[in-house]
Structure 1
Amino acid sequence: MSEIFVDLGTVDAPSGVLVLGMAGWIDEWRHLGRPLSERARTAAATGGGHLHEWLCEAVAVPAADDRPLTVRASTSPSPFDGEPTIATLEIGLGLQWPVTVDPSAAERSLPVRLGDLPVDRCGMVVGDAAVLDAWRGMADEASDGLADVFYWGRYADDAHARFGGERIARYEGDGPRGWLDLPVAEASIRAAELTAWRDGLHGTGLMVSVDKHNDFHRVQRAGWHHPLHAGVIDVSGCRVLGIAWDQGDHSMRHRGERDAGQVYPVSLEADEAGAVVLRWVIPPYGSPGERAGE
């Protein structure tokens, strides 16, 4: 039975090099010597490859620089809550498979294994290698001077009666309460007021967070209403796609990541029309070969 794919969005690769990487670590590449774009360009020059240093991992491949690149996914049920999770992530690279003497030969469709990737608990990012050099990670400042404030926990109703705040909807239903799109200084003040109130009356039982509008938060926010937590944002004039993994599903299936052998194969393949696609395959929970190393 063939897989059924759904479109997640499109991305751009004006540098001609596309990266699939771990969202929580994209901004760390710049602190490890060579920029991500340089490493990715070197890998793409040989047809594509796996990049790995410290906790940072990514796959880089050549891609068309003059058209949108479609990202699709097939799904399988999560063992955590039965909701759909990504089984295969497929990215059309806008290039044709290298011509063989006999275009109908079986070798034309054999996958080219590039390596494997763990599922980052902070999500994954698909985007242009050069653009991702400027990626603002979770600890970076906002790109627009704004931030979101959230609070939740045992005393959330009491806090709402005292401070207000809207319920922030998610695909799964009601999310935490809070305020969106506040100036960073105002967001910090509101969070401080909530924290002081909690510490003065309860001590514990209320979680408070301030999420600045850096690229990491913006791409997670873009996926709030998508069943696969996928969303597209603009970074330096280019479309970048992010996927925020469900935390419960990650704990059930992918916890420990590479250190626990929870890695999944990435390959280049030819689709039915002979175009090159990048495929990342995550077998269903408990299936044979669920771990790439087995």
Structure 2
Amino acid sequence: MSETSVDLGVVTAPSGVLVLGMAGSIDQWSETGDPLSVRALAAAGFGGGHFHEPADGPSSDWWCEAVAVPAAADRPLKVRAKPWVSYDGPVVSVLEVDLGLPWPSNRGRSPIRLGDLPVDRCGMVLGDARALDSFVGLNGESVDGLADVTYWGKYADDAHARFDGERTPQYGGQGPYGRLDLPLREAHEFADRIRSWGPRAGLMVSVDAHSHFHLLDRAGQIHPLSAGRIEIDGCQVLGLGWDPGDHSMRHRGERAWDQVYAVTLEQAGTTTLMRWTIPTEAEEPGQAES
């Protein structure tokens, strides 16, 4: 891997299949057909590949997308990223995963293209195929009976003086005021007290149940690349958020506008890497000459 890359930790894939997919829809596969793991195991059985829902729809209609690859089941898999500074801060330009498997001798040395993926505005998820079958997504229920309450806006300091709370952790500064890890009922009661506190237009209050999506997002708040890890069904899973400014300027439209980026298998010494390459603005067609 590149010497300028950043260590994002490890993921685990005891099923022997690793999935990189869109976080906004990773929990919706079973609503349209086979569970994610079934589709992923089939794709990985051919050495790795891209799959999507609806399975028989045109590419502009794909709303669940992922890539699955075989991976070592008996060891942690190292994940690294090469960053690039975009509009509001650093973003990923290359994501690399050491799959813990030898490079097949019959494949030659050239990279093998598995397909391409858009940058999901809700972020990406990297994890074990079977563990992701139980992923609780964006609007899902709490997995532990807890929730986080945050509040911000024009009257946030006044609300803090009255209702207490702490600044939530955030990379590069302080996040909104809030109280974390409250029982669900207590969280909603706390939020209701703030909302009913007289006419306070401009004071925003949010209650976020501890879905897997929220916990990954929360874990990524303290990382410069919005990368966070949690455990799902005994597996280490990585979530990768995305800078809103970079997504709006470069990736908006996603699949429908052909904003998709190649996922490949590549040789690194004797081992196999999965690599997802998102060109920097300077590397995009037509930019280098301008």
Q: TM-score, normalised by structure 2?
A: 0.91
Name the SS of the counterpart of 1:109 in structure 2.
coil
Aligned residue in 1 for 2:273: 277
Shift of 1:39: 0.3
The 2-side partners of 1:201 and 1:288 are apart by 49
In 1: Cα distance, 2:230 partner to 2:286 partner: 31
The within-5 A match list for 1:197-276 is: 197=197, 200-202=198-200, 204-271=201-268, 273-276=269-272
Once residues 135 and 23 of structure 2 are traced to their aligned partners in structure 1, the CA distance between those partners, rounded to angstroms, is 10
Do residues 98 (structure 1) and 99 (structure 2) align? no
Q: Does 1:66 align with 2:90?
A: no
Partners of 2:177 and 2:154 in 1: CA distance: 12
Give the whole-Å Cα distance in 1 for the aligned partners of 2:258 and 2:3.
26
Partner SS state of residue 137, structure 1:
coil
**Conserved? CA contact 1:69–1:91, under 8 Å:** yes
Question: How much does 1:109 deviate?
Answer: 2.4
Q: Distance in 2 between matches of 1:115 and 1:195?
A: 47
Aligned positions, number:
278
Alpha-carbon deviation of 1:162?
2.4
Q: Which amino acid aligns with 2:167?
A: R
Q: With structure 1 as the length reference, what TM-score do the two structures score? A: 0.90
1:26-46 deviation line (CA, Å, top 9, x unaligned): 111121110000000110001
Per-residue displacement from partner, 1:153-205 (whole Å, max 9, x unpaired)?
122122222222211120120111110110011101111222222xx413x31
Contact 1:4 1:74 in 2 (8 A): yes
**Partner secondary structure for residue 192 of structure 1:** helix
Cα deviation for residue 249 of structure 1 reads 2.1
State the distance in 2 between where 1:95 and 1:175 align: 40
Q: Where does the alignment leave 5 or more consecutive residues of structure 1 unmatched?
A: 101-106
Residue 290 of structure 1 and its aligned partner are, at CA, apart by 8.7
Kindly provide the amino acid, as one letter, of the partner of residue 86 in structure 1.
Answer: V
Opposite residue 87 of structure 1, the aligned amino acid is: S
Q: Specify whether residues 191 and 128 from structure 1 end up closer, same or farther in structure 2 by C-alpha distance, changes over 3 A only.
A: same
Aligned residue in 2 for 1:34:
34
Q: Distance in 2 between matches of 1:109 and 1:171?
A: 40
Shift of 1:136: 1.0
Distance 1:108 1:76 in 2: 31
Residue 262 (structure 1) shift: 1.4
Q: Choose the corresponding residue for 1:56, options 34, 42, 64.
A: 64
d(CA) in 2 for partners of 1:70, 1:123: 19
CA distance in 2, matches of 1:215, 1:177: 22
What SS does structure 2 have at the residue aligned with 1:194? helix
Q: Which runs of 5+ in 2 are unaligned?
A: 54-61
Identity score, percent: 60
